[in-house]
Amino acid sequence: MDFRELIAYQKAFELSMEIFQLSKSFPIEEKYSLTDQIRRSSRSTCANIAEAYRKRRYINHFISKLTDSDAENSETNVWLEFALKCGYLSYDHYQVLNEKTVEIGRIINYMINNPQKFGCLPG
């Protein structure tokens, strides 16, 4: 199986692309702050899932990279809240995106708690 087949990766990638489109409408003064940060954290969520899957031979490496992914996903959630409070997205749109980060977090945590289901060898 390829990491692109993982549900966590697919959902995180989809969210990252949605955030990319959304952030195009952010004010130019946010280019090197909120826009950059939210794009980077959402993309890093995906990248860390991919890295974790490639490191699944070693359970501790797998869990470590997934923990990084979960942290990046949480960071994305914080940046979404800033975007809401700054008036760059509606509350309804924020709620949809927030729920997506929560769902991604649940899936990542399932992977952390069940590494053997993703090809990790016992320690």
pLDDT tens digits for range 70-122: 999 999 999 999 999 999 999 999 999 999 999 999 999 999 999 999 999 77
Tens digit of each residue's pLDDT (9 = 90 or more) over 39-72: 999 999 999 999 999 999 999 999 999 999 999 9
CATH number for the 3-117 domain, one of 1.10.10.10, 1.20.1440.60, 3.40.720.10, 2.30.30.60?
1.20.1440.60
The angle that helices 91-113 and 59-85 make with each other, rounded to 10 degrees, is 170
> Could you tell me which residues come within 8 angstroms of residue 83 by beta carbon, excluding any fewer than 6 positions away?
22, 26, 34, 38, 89, 94
- 78: which 2 tokens? 């914080």
The answer to whether the beta carbons of residues 48 and 16 sit under 8 Å apart is: no
> Could you tell me which residues come within 8 angstroms of residue 103 by beta carbon, excluding any fewer than 6 positions away?
11
Read off the pTM: 0.95
- Nearest by Cα to 77 from 108, 58, 62, 99: 99
